[in-house]
Chains A and B, each alone.
Chain A
Amino acid sequence: MNSLPENTWELNEVARNTDILSEISSEFDIEANPGTTSNLQFYDDFDSHLWKANYLLCQVNKQQFQLIDPSGCMGEVGASSGARFWWEFSGNQVKDKLQSLVGLRAVLPIASINLLETDFSLRNDDQKIVVRGRLTQTMVGNKIGLYLTLQALRGYTKYYTRAAQLLRPFIKAEINHFGLRFLLMGQNIQALEPKQSTLLSLTEDMRTEQAVRAMATAMFDQTKLYVGGVIADTDTEFLHQFRVNVRKLRSLISLLKQALPTSMLDTLKPRLSSIACKTNKLRDLDVFILAQDSYRAMLPANFESGLNELYRLIEKQRKQEKDKLARYLSSTEYKNDVTACAAELSQSSAFQTPMASKPVLQAVKKLLLKRYHKMLAMGAAINSQSADEKIHELRIEFKKLRYLIEFFVDLLPKKRTGKIVSEIKKIQTVLGDYNDYCIQIEFLNSYIDDTRIEMSKALSGLIAILYQKKTEERPKVEVALTDFFTENMAIEFDLVFGAAEPGDSK
């Protein structure tokens, strides 16, 4: 069956509900319901995940939320006013959806709308309803918006056309997709602005120091975006993203140090290292707390009291560590470091080294090949007897290699580079899992305390299980290395990154 016309128009500011309805009453009998008012508060996370996926999370009253999906369907869900994380909402379906959309992010209020909606029906001479309509009045601050929606009914479209004609003098503009999303779009919500620092687009013949400075500046600016959330302890992702961006910045500077002046390296390297270092402990505690469910599932019930004691201790330490980091990020010491780094990054390129003036693509390709060959040798030296430290070093090299490709991915051949990156990701997963066991064992070991018997028993139990898992994981490392360092991969690196002259790679 054909769909029926339904339209919404924005009305002139001067129009009043009574004027509009009396205009239509010349030809129709009007039946208007009493208007309903509502105050809707909308929530999203820092990255606007819900908005980007065409979802809206809206608080309709103190303990009631609605998750509205892209088709407009609503899932009602209960939660206390202070709910911020997906696990604090009730209703499995909505909870699962929120989890998949926002992950560990907290949802916070981003906007509110006051609505006054008046539904009405128009009847013909037979007293049959022939058109349905709604007048919507929105209030955002002092700004009032007036909208009229008319809905045709099957078999009575001509009445709809006539009603629309009668109301034409009140109409300011037709609206294509009217709804809450439309009303929110009109508010220019700051929380929904893109969070990515703008990076000037790289060109392959850009000089290396210039390119690195531009990228480093963008990354540095990006780290600043997360500081507020870390200090407020909004969610654990702020610290995680802060650390990821600092790590990437440090990698960029370290990987391309030959293109940068000594003064820049002397300013940035120790300061960034110091900043990163101050965040380590809190992140370790966050990771342990986030994995609480899986740790609890590893041990039988009689270890519960020991685990509870451990988690109480960890939570207490987390609070102290969080306060300490918040103090540091608000301190003069941190601000001075940031100012010094920003000042250094904003300097003009010095071109003090041979690499600094080289076209960036040429420099990056050469570097990628060099690093690959270094890693090939490191990988060949790994065997079943190799120390965990050696595997850790190789893991770091893989991370840097992937960063280097991803930093300059726009200049590299897309398809073939994509395949290499996906192979790197595979081996990173194996190396990462192995490293996680090593780190977790070390972390838990540091809590063994002879004066806390129950807690130490639980810790020993966890360590034993993790050691077992680590042992099982170990052979996978060598398999993954063999799978990655194939003859084909060597040829691929030569083919993709070997063409060092500008213009011969794409």
Chain B
Amino acid sequence: MKVIACYSMKGGVGKTATAVNLAYWAAKSGLKTLLIDLDPQGASSFYFRIKPSSKKWAKRFFNAYENLVKHIKASDFENLDIIPAHLSFRNFDTLLAGFKKRKNRLKRVLKGFNKEYDLVILDCPPSISYLSESIFIASNLVLVPVIPTPLSERTFEQLMAFFEENDYPQNKIVPFFSMVQGQKSLHKATMEAMSARYKMFLNTTIPYSSDIEKMGVHKAPVDVFAKSQQANYAYIKLWKEVSETERKCG
């Protein structure tokens, strides 16, 4: 079982859209996939029309995988299950602070899914915290959407520095450009500069697209309602490249 995190310290960069569409294509390619929505806003769950449980359960999240199992919901798509977010997940950091070996907690609970799933995709909240560190340890790849602007560049630099300072392997970080507007010269220039500086950027870019925004209206991955649109092809390409990268990383 592999774990891929969709992560960014910055909000509104397309993390959730990436997590939802990648999970969809991974499942469609035949992998038994579990999408875990760690972001208390619950946008991933919303895109799959899944309501969170009415009871607060963040306290039990890191105790044992059996607690997570109870909250798994089938999506409308074959091979794809989801653990929906709950508002109480906003307290994850406080909870983790009370645990010993807190950074390994997530990895330990996810191990339980080894037999059931081929792939776990984590939709992460935008922060840098104990939870983020648990995510970095638990994941095989940390997929980072980067909007090609100076502010996003700065955020990405901060992430790289954080990995270095804390001795996390930087080769886990797999960035790609998101919400790209090809006609903007700023986007073009930033992409050129960042690709030259960070060789690990994926070739695939995700365009800025109203079809991606419409996921909220249709409550579904792009393929369901905009099959022949550019955004959909971009996610197909992204999934192919991510799965190849994951294979290469072993």
Is residue B76 contacting chain A, with contact meaning CB distance below 8 A? yes
Q: Hey, which chain B residues are within 8 Å of A156, CB to CB? A: 73-74
Is residue A301 contacting chain B, with contact meaning CB distance below 8 A? no
The smallest beta-carbon distance between A477 and chain B, in angstroms, is 56
What are the interface flags for A153-170 relative to B under an 8 Å C-beta threshold, 1 for contact and 0 otherwise? 111100000000000000
Which residues of B32-53 have CB atoms within 8 Å of chain A's CB atoms?
A: 48-51
The smallest beta-carbon distance between A128 and chain B, in angstroms, is 4
Pairwise interchain contact B69-A1, C-beta atoms closer than 8 A: yes
Instruction: Specify which of B51, B74, B81 is in contact with A126 (CB 8 Å cutoff).
Output: B51
Instruction: Specify which of B69, B72, B219 is in contact with A127 (CB 8 Å cutoff).
Output: B219
Pairwise interchain contact A128-B116, C-beta atoms closer than 8 A: no
Q: Hey, which chain A residues are within 8 Å of B69, CB to CB? A: 1
Pairwise interchain contact A1-B72, C-beta atoms closer than 8 A: yes
Q: Hey, which chain B residues are within 8 Å of A121, CB to CB? A: 76
Pairwise interchain contact B72-A155, C-beta atoms closer than 8 A: yes
Pairwise interchain contact A154-B81, C-beta atoms closer than 8 A: yes
Q: Hey, which chain A residues are within 8 Å of B49, CB to CB? A: 126-128
The smallest beta-carbon distance between B42 and chain A, in angstroms, is 13
Q: Hey, which chain A residues are within 8 Å of B48, CB to CB? A: 128
Closest B residue to A154 by beta carbon equals B74
Is residue A129 contacting chain B, with contact meaning CB distance below 8 A? yes
Q: Hey, which chain B residues are within 8 Å of A126, CB to CB? A: 49, 51
What are the interface flags for A86-123 relative to B under an 8 Å C-beta threshold, 1 for contact and 0 otherwise? 00000000000000000000000000000000000100
Q: Which of A127, A129, A154 has the most CB of B within 10 A?
A: A154
In the docked arrangement, what's the CA distance between A39 and B143, Å? 48
Secondary structure call for the A interface: loop
Total interface residues on A, using CB and 8 Å? 10
In the docked arrangement, what's the CA distance between A411 and B81, Å? 60
In the docked arrangement, what's the CA distance between A367 and B72, Å? 72
In the docked arrangement, what's the CA distance between A121 and B51, Å? 19
Which residues of B55-111 have CB atoms within 8 Å of chain A's CB atoms?
A: 69, 71-74, 76, 81
In the docked arrangement, what's the CA distance between A154 and B48, Å? 14
Closest B residue to A152 by beta carbon equals B74
What are the interface flags for B124-147 relative to A under an 8 Å C-beta threshold, 1 for contact and 0 otherwise? 000000000000000000000000
Closest A residue to B65 by beta carbon equals A1
Q: Hey, which chain A residues are within 8 Å of B51, CB to CB? A: 126
In the docked arrangement, what's the CA distance between A128 and B71, Å? 16
The smallest beta-carbon distance between B41 and chain A, in angstroms, is 17
Closest A residue to B219 by beta carbon equals A127
The smallest beta-carbon distance between B227 and chain A, in angstroms, is 18
Q: Hey, which chain B residues are within 8 Å of A155, CB to CB? A: 50, 71-74
Closest B residue to A128 by beta carbon equals B49
Q: Hey, which chain B residues are within 8 Å of A127, CB to CB? A: 49, 219
In the docked arrangement, what's the CA distance between A482 and B249, Å? 64
With known contacts A1-B69, A1-B116, A128–B81 Cβ distance under 8 A: no
In the docked arrangement, what's the CA distance between A153 and B71, Å? 12
Q: Which of B49, B50, B219 has the most CB of A within 10 A?
A: B49
In the docked arrangement, what's the CA distance between A250 and B113, Å? 65
In the docked arrangement, what's the CA distance between A99 and B40, Å? 58
In the docked arrangement, what's the CA distance between A143 and B128, Å? 67
The smallest beta-carbon distance between B110 and chain A, in angstroms, is 14
What are the interface flags for A29-56 relative to B under an 8 Å C-beta threshold, 1 for contact and 0 otherwise? 0000000000000000000000000000
In the docked arrangement, what's the CA distance between A126 and B51, Å? 9
In the docked arrangement, what's the CA distance between A128 and B82, Å? 13
Pairwise interchain contact B50-A154, C-beta atoms closer than 8 A: no
What are the interface flags for B205-230 relative to A under an 8 Å C-beta threshold, 1 for contact and 0 otherwise? 00000000000000100000000000
The smallest beta-carbon distance between B33 and chain A, in angstroms, is 13
In the docked arrangement, what's the CA distance between A127 and B116, Å? 27
What are the interface flags for A176-192 relative to B under an 8 Å C-beta threshold, 1 for contact and 0 otherwise? 00000000000000000
In the docked arrangement, what's the CA distance between A375 and B116, Å? 63
The smallest beta-carbon distance between B78 and chain A, in angstroms, is 10
The smallest beta-carbon distance between B80 and chain A, in angstroms, is 11
Pairwise interchain contact B76-A129, C-beta atoms closer than 8 A: yes
With known contacts A1-B116, A154-B81, A128–B72 Cβ distance under 8 A: no
In the docked arrangement, what's the CA distance between A155 and B45, Å? 13
Q: Hey, which chain B residues are within 8 Å of A128, CB to CB? A: 48-50, 76
The smallest beta-carbon distance between A403 and chain B, in angstroms, is 52
The smallest beta-carbon distance between B226 and chain A, in angstroms, is 18
In the docked arrangement, what's the CA distance between A156 and B76, Å? 12
In the docked arrangement, what's the CA distance between A347 and B166, Å? 98
Closest A residue to B46 by beta carbon equals A126
In the docked arrangement, what's the CA distance between A153 and B76, Å? 9
The smallest beta-carbon distance between B3 and chain A, in angstroms, is 18
Q: Which of B71, B72, B73, B74 has the most CB of A within 10 A?
A: B74
In the docked arrangement, what's the CA distance between A121 and B76, Å? 9
Q: Hey, which chain A residues are within 8 Å of B50, CB to CB? A: 128, 155
Closest A residue to B83 by beta carbon equals A155
Closest A residue to B113 by beta carbon equals A1
Closest A residue to B220 by beta carbon equals A127
The smallest beta-carbon distance between A73 and chain B, in angstroms, is 14
The smallest beta-carbon distance between B22 and chain A, in angstroms, is 20
In the docked arrangement, what's the CA distance between A1 and B34, Å? 13
Pairwise interchain contact B72-A154, C-beta atoms closer than 8 A: yes
What are the interface flags for A120-158 relative to B under an 8 Å C-beta threshold, 1 for contact and 0 otherwise? 010000111100000000000000000000000111100
Pairwise interchain contact B116-A154, C-beta atoms closer than 8 A: no
Q: Hey, which chain A residues are within 8 Å of B219, CB to CB? A: 127
Q: Hey, which chain B residues are within 8 Å of A154, CB to CB? A: 72-74, 81
In the docked arrangement, what's the CA distance between A478 and B71, Å? 73
In the docked arrangement, what's the CA distance between A155 and B75, Å? 10
The smallest beta-carbon distance between A271 and chain B, in angstroms, is 64
The smallest beta-carbon distance between B65 and chain A, in angstroms, is 10
Sort A-B residue pairs by CB-CB distance and give the 10 closest, nearest first: A155-B73, A153-B74, A128-B49, A129-B76, A154-B74, A126-B49, A154-B72, A1-B69, A1-B116, A127-B49
Name A residues whose Cβ lies closer than 8 Å to a Cβ of B. 1, 121, 126-129, 153-156
Q: A126-B49, A126-B51, A155-B72 are in contact. List 6 more A-B contacts (CB 8 A).
A: A127-B49, A129-B76, A154-B81, A155-B50, A155-B73, A156-B73
**7 interchain pairs (CB within 8 A)?**
A127-B219, A128-B49, A128-B76, A153-B74, A154-B72, A154-B81, A155-B72
